[in-house]
Amino acid sequence: MKIEGIKALRGEIKIPGDKSISHRAVMLGSISKGETTIENVLLSEDTLRTIECFREMGIKIDIDGKENRVRIQGKGIYSLEKPSKPLDCGNSGTTMRLLAGILGGQKFSSTLIGDDSLSKRPMDRIIIPLTKMGVNIKGEENKYPPLRIYPSDELQGIEYELPIASAQVKSSILLASIYSKGRTKVIEKKTTRDHTERMLEYFGQGEFKGKEIYVPGDISSASFFIVGASIIKDSSIVIKDVGINPTRSGIIDVIKAMGGNIRIENIRTINNEPIGDIFVSYSPLKGIELDENIIGRLIDEIPVIAVAAAFAEGTTIIRNAEELKYKETDRIKAMVNELRKMGADIEALSDGLIINGKKSLNPTNMNTYNDHRIAMALSIAALNIMGESKITDTQCVNISYPNFYETMWEILE
Ligand code: S3P
């Protein structure tokens, strides 16, 4: 993909539905009784993996790709059928970790597999608490996929303090607790996204009943355009209907603290999730030190925050973000390597990044490491560099944002 520097980003856009909420809506819809309709659902490679896994277990799910709608005919929490082959989670950590919680409560054996990247990601973080609940789950070297789950006696609720800040681990435990006796309590010292809690509340107590869900736009996908409009002179954009759940909105706080020009209007709540329209225009940014408590609220946005920092005046320091090493690729290494190729002054810490901003960077050839968020962050950087940059393997944006480049071409000037 070739990308040239542009004058501005201008216009009104709508971005696809939230990935985390879409996964959870498909999962809870599949174990509810009756029909669940999910509007504005994200239909990307990751969420399609979740849909396929439930289809494999006998759930009827109709996809309307034109309308971004799925309809699920759920038959209750004990209605899943034994899959005839391993469930393929592809690149999706959310599919594997959350599904393991649900499968732990089933009366059949199952295997969860993933692609090369997912097969290297740590699963002991869910194996340990699920085993404590009585789930019979085994990984390679007790840590990696494939995960093999065997039927077990009744599961027990647990009280568990998360050793690492992870919504995937929290959610895996909460979903297993649906099949457990007694109370489960998960304690998190640092905030992580609370979509599972909100959606469990929305589906109601006792036997879940099918629901209508509207998925807000994904703030993580919006973040690329929030940063783009903040760093590219003369930019001014509106991003409609974005999820602004406080456990996800750290990007807004950080860009504002850096001197960004952002406001949110038309705030309302849809199926227990806050949503609003985000107005962003260019403003010169300053470097800041990120507070350790904000990291969980913007963990997926750090690659694009690094891009904002590379063009800001002064130093940006990001610490307490070691988790970046365990994402689809090592995102600390990836951003240091690629931003350095553009001439940025960026250094890796064991748990983060130090970036000294510069007025301008140079066009170059970049790699995405097949990580969707690295691809989109680098593309935004390229838009703010005069001359032609080249980025290889950009098809990985299909993991979370299949129309990313179409939307980008639409609003650039
Ligand atoms: C997600 C949680 C986060 C995030 C991922 C999606 C979720 O992972 O990075 O993209 O949907 O629960 P961790 O909770 O493991 O940090």
Whether 193 lines ligand 1, by a CB cut-off of 6 Å, is yes
Distance CA 393, CA 303 (A): 17
- Checking if the pLDDT of 222 tops 90, the result is yes
Is there a contact between 138 and 126 (Cβ–Cβ < 8 Å)?
Answer: no
- Ligand 1 atom nearest the C-alpha of 24 is 11
Is there a contact between 153 and 106 (Cβ–Cβ < 8 Å)?
Answer: no
Whether 44 lines ligand 1, by a CB cut-off of 6 Å, is no
Whether 94 lines ligand 1, by a CB cut-off of 6 Å, is yes
In this structure, of 198-212, 299-313, 393-407, the range with the lowest mean pLDDT score is: 198-212
DSSP 79: -
Q: Distance, CA 390 to ligand 1 centroid (Å)?
A: 29
Helix (H, G, I), strand (E, B) or coil at 190: coil
pLDDT at 187: 98
* Pairing between β-strand 144-150 and β-strand 110-113 as defined by DSSP bridges: antiparallel
Question: What is 215-234 written as a DSSP string?
Answer: PPBPHHHHHHHHHHHHHSTT
Task: Tell me the pLDDT tens digit for each residue of 237-289.
Answer: 999 999 999 999 999 999 999 999 999 999 999 999 999 999 999 999 999 99
pLDDT at 130: 98
Task: Tell me the pLDDT tens digit for each residue of 91-118.
Answer: 999 999 999 999 999 999 999 999 999 9
- Ligand 1 atom nearest the C-alpha of 326 is 15
DSSP 110: E
Is there a contact between 68 and 41 (Cβ–Cβ < 8 Å)?
Answer: yes
Q: Distance, CA 7 to ligand 1 centroid (Å)?
A: 34
Q: Is 300 a catalytic residue?
A: yes
Q: Hey, which residues does 398 pair with through a beta bridge?
A: none
Task: Tell me the pLDDT tens digit for each residue of 162-184.
Answer: 999 999 999 999 999 999 999 99
Bind-site residues for 3-phosphoshikimate: 19-20, 24, 166, 168, 300, 327
Helix (H, G, I), strand (E, B) or coil at 313: strand
Q: Distance, CA 90 to ligand 1 centroid (Å)?
A: 15
Is there a contact between 19 and 44 (Cβ–Cβ < 8 Å)?
Answer: yes
Task: Tell me the pLDDT tens digit for each residue of 351-405.
Answer: 999 999 999 999 999 999 999 999 999 999 999 999 999 999 999 999 999 999 9
- Checking if the pLDDT of 205 tops 90, the result is no
Residue (of 369, 303, 390) closest to 339 by Cα position: 303
Residue (of 221, 210, 272, 274) closest to 403 by Cα position: 221
DSSP H or E stretch at residue 339 = helix 331-341
What crossing angle do the helices spanning 167-177 and 93-103 adopt, rounded to 10°?
A: 20
DSSP 138: E
Is there a contact between 97 and 169 (Cβ–Cβ < 8 Å)?
Answer: yes
Domains identified in the chain and CATH numbers: 2-14+219-410 (3.65.10.10), 19-214 (3.65.10.10)
Tokens representing 223 are: 């973040």
Is the entire prediction scored with pTM above 0.75?
yes
Choosing from 18, 19, 20 the residue with most ligand 1 atoms within 8 A of its CB, the one to mutate for a pocket test is 20
Catalytic residue among 88, 241, 300, 371: 300
Distance CA 59, CA 395 (A): 29
Whether 20 lines ligand 1, by a CB cut-off of 6 Å, is yes
Cis peptide leading into residue 146 (ω within 30°):
yes
Q: Distance, CA 296 to ligand 1 centroid (Å)?
A: 9
* Pairing between β-strand 388-391 and β-strand 110-113 as defined by DSSP bridges: unpaired
Residue 18 amino acid letter: D
What are the CA-CA distances from residue 386 to residues 3, 161, 310, 361, 376 (Å)?
10, 49, 15, 8, 18
